[in-house]
Chains A and B, each alone.
Chain A
Amino acid sequence: MANTVLKANNISIVFGGLKAVDNFSIEIKEGELVGLIGPNGAGKTTVFNMLTGVYVPTSGTVELCGKDVTKLNPHKRVELGISRTFQNIRLFKRMSVLENVKVSSNIHMNYSVFDGIFKTKKYYEQEDLATEEAMEILKVLGLEEYINEEAQNLPYGKQRKLEIARALASRPAILCLDEPAAGMNPTETEELMETIKIVREKFNTAILLIEHDMKLVMGICEWIKVISFGKEIATGTPVEIRNNKEVITAYLGE
């Protein structure tokens, strides 16, 4: 039986008087590919923000690989194995593609400031290893020819892929993708579906995915959770979700 990598127990968050997310729970096991969908403003990104530590939930707990991380800083959670991309691309625009990925390798390097200044053996060993690993990730995502390019100069679709590459360099147990296909045309979306499948197999990570493109979600997710107005309305396989009355109502109205 696979281990649980991410677990949220009844998390809620209140902004002002508004309950943006209400008693949300989820449990994701090693290697699973899970979708989180819902109409605009349902609270999907807010869930991501609570899982990754941008917000602390008003109530409820978050567990990462068996540890309670509810009050932990985002950067400490990354060390424990969660990683994410953003709905609006947030790359380090003026840094090279390779450097963007290596930002996330930081947590796996432990040489000191002095090793860095005096270029000790430790410095070279760790930096070389990080570069090698970053190159491998970039190759899988088809970005190896752009390594020295500034991130802002990449075409839109490649920038989205670079965000995934950067998130992978921290070696996550679970990767959270926030609308990875947003703004992509059908061909690019198709390609992205393939990429996500490959990423999961190659890097041995569970994936939690927010997406509006139903073809993508239904095509690759093993199971799906649907929220609307901050509340869970359904959980199930793609087929079950597609035929769920409540889901259809939430999307299309009465």
Chain B
Amino acid sequence: MNTLLEGLKQGLELGSIFALMALGYSMVYGIVKMINFAHSEFITIGGFLAYFITESLLKSTFGNSIWSLLIALVAAIIVCVIVAIITERFAYRPLRKKGSSRITALITAIGVSYIFSGIMNAIEPEQLQFHKFVDKNTSFYIAIITTAVLLALLTFFVKKTKIGIAMRAVSENEQAAKLMGINNNFIIALTFMIGSALAAIGVVIYLLDGECFTFEIGSVTIGLYPFVAAVIGGIGSLPGAVIGGFLIGIIRAITQVYSNIGLSSWVDTIIYGIFVIILLFKPSGLLGKDVREKV
């Protein structure tokens, strides 16, 4: 029983981290109807940067203090945001401008993802261990609280501010939004920036209890889970992304708890099995709206 509770707790922690990352996929898809596969590499870049900065700060006067972690977090956010701006500006925007098809954008995104992954592999192919700033219990609370606060802020932001309204307008009809005075390129870039900032926050929370990781943390270790979470929750829906994240995190953790009866090698089969069943009944995800054109 104890292990089940432990598993649930771990699932909630992992779930809230997936949720933060899923928000990025979901918001970007919502606004440009493109799956930004490079998002997983934003996660890796955030993790790497936070690692290298904490390692050098540990030797400085900041040492083991919370300040080292906070500085690393802020730096990771800033760099991820810059990488997102560059990616959007030089890889995606030119395609959008030329009105290319969605498959072209998708392949470009996959290409960008491999490019970043290759660079990270060249920088550090070995496994790294993040400094253990807090214990497992504390990192659980940090994860839950951060996700709750950020979801609340983001929901308010999208619903109630002029920028949020502009985001939704661009997402529904980019051309009409432009002709109502919305600077669509700025709004799209801002969406990418928010998504990658959340990815950076997510990965730092993932690592801060002393996790080991490699350059494949974004593409393989965390991998498709946040994306799947976004789709299960209903892509484009913020609370949907969070619910999807929790769902996957919990299923994953619980199947791992029962690894003694041989469930652990079935983790992905179970997760994706549930995923397929949910989508059979709710093709647009749990909180997604059915899009049915009036004829």
Q: Which residues of A contact B (CB under 8 A)?
A: 52-54, 73-75, 78-79, 83-84, 86, 90-95, 99, 102-107, 109, 111, 113, 116-117, 123, 126-127, 130, 166-167, 170
Q: Evaluate contact between B179 and A78: CB separation under 8 angstroms.
A: yes
When the two chains form their complex, are residues B153 and A92 in contact, meaning their CB atoms are under 8 A apart? Answer: no
Instruction: For B160, give the chain A residue with the smallest CB separation.
Output: A127
> In this complex, which of A75, A99, A111, A170 has the most chain B Cβ atoms within 10 angstroms of its Cβ?
A75
Chain A: CB-nearest residue to B190: A113
A53-B184 Cα distance, complex, nearest whole Å:
14
Q: Which residues of A contact B160 (CB under 8 A)?
A: 127
Q: How far is the CA of A52 from the CA of B178 in the complex (A)?
A: 10
Say yes or no for B119: interface residue by CB 8 A criterion: no
For A86, list chain B residues within 8 Å (CB).
176
Could you say which of A94, A106, A107 contacts B172, with CB atoms under 8 Å apart?
A94
How far is B182's CA from A84's CA once the two chains are assembled, in angstroms? 13
Q: Is B289 an interface residue (CB 8 A)?
A: yes
Q: Is the CB of A116 within 8 A of B181?
A: no
The reply on B129 being an interface residue by CB < 8 A is no
Asked whether, in the complex, the Cβ of A105 is within 8 Å of the Cβ of B183, the reply is no
Q: Are B162 and A92 in contact (CB under 8 A)?
A: no
Residues of A close to B168: CB separation below 8 A: 92, 94-95, 99
Residue of B153, B165, B183 most packed against chain A (CB within 10 A): B165
Q: In the docked arrangement, what's the CA distance between A119 and B124, Å?
A: 42
Q: Could you tell me the dominant secondary structure of chain B's interface residues? A: helix
Q: Which residue of chain B lies nearest to A112 when distances are taken between CB atoms in the complex? A: B163
Given contacts A75-B183, A75-B184, A90-B176, contact A103 B163 (CB under 8 A): no
Closest CB pairs A-B (n = 7)? A78-B181, A116-B161, A90-B176, A107-B181, A92-B172, A103-B169, A104-B180
Interface residues of B in 157-197 (CB under 8 A from A): 157, 160-166, 168-169, 172-173, 175-184, 190
A103 and B289 within 8 A (CB): no
Nearest residue (CB) in A for B166 is A106
Give chain A residues whose Cβ lies under 8 Å from the Cβ of B181: 75, 78-79, 83, 104, 106-107, 170
Interface centre among A94, A103, A104, by most chain B C-beta atoms within 10 angstroms, is A103
Residues of B within 8 A of A90 (CB): 173, 175-176
A104-B169 Cα distance, complex, nearest whole Å = 10
Bound complex: CA A16 to CA B153 (Å)? 49
Would you mind naming 25 contact pairs between A and B with Cβ atoms under 8 Å apart?
A52-B179, A53-B179, A54-B175, A73-B178, A75-B180, A75-B183, A92-B169, A92-B177, A94-B168, A95-B165, A95-B169, A95-B172, A102-B162, A102-B165, A103-B165, A103-B166, A106-B166, A106-B181, A106-B182, A107-B181, A109-B162, A116-B161, A117-B157, A127-B160, A127-B162
**Cross-chain contact A103 with B182 (CB below 8 angstroms):** yes
Using a CB–CB cutoff of 8 Å, the interface residues on chain B facing chain A are: 153, 157, 160-166, 168-169, 172-173, 175-184, 190, 289
Q: How far is the CB of A170 from chain B (nearest CB, A)?
A: 5
- What is the distance, in angstroms, from B20's C-beta to the closest C-beta of chain A? 16
- Flag if A106 contacts B179 (CB, 8 Å): no
A-side contacts of B165, CB under 8 Å: 95, 99, 102-103, 106
Residues of chain A within 8 A of B173, CB atoms compared:
90-92
- Bound-state CA distance A78–B164 (Å) is 19
A92, closest chain B residue (CB):
B172
- Expressed in whole angstroms, the minimum distance between the Cβ of B34 and any Cβ of chain A is 19
Which residues of chain B have C-beta atoms less than 8 A from A91's C-beta?
A: 173, 176
With a cutoff of 8 Å between Cβ atoms, the chain B residues found around residue A95 in the complex are 165, 168-169, 172
Complex contacts, B161 vs chain A, CB 8 Å: 116, 123, 127
Contact B162 A105 (CB under 8 A): yes
* Residue from B176, B180, B190, B289 having most chain A Cβ neighbours under 10 A: B180
B182: which A residues are within 8 A, CB to CB?
75, 103, 106
Given contacts A102-B162, A127-B161, contact A92 B176 (CB under 8 A): yes
Q: Is the CB of A103 within 8 A of B157?
A: no
Given contacts A73-B183, A106-B166, 6 further A-B contacts (CB under 8 A): A75-B179, A92-B177, A106-B162, A106-B180, A106-B181, A116-B164
B-chain residues with CB within 8 Å of residue A116 when the two chains form the complex: 157, 161-164
Identity of the chain B residue whose Cβ is nearest the Cβ of A86 in the assembled complex: B176
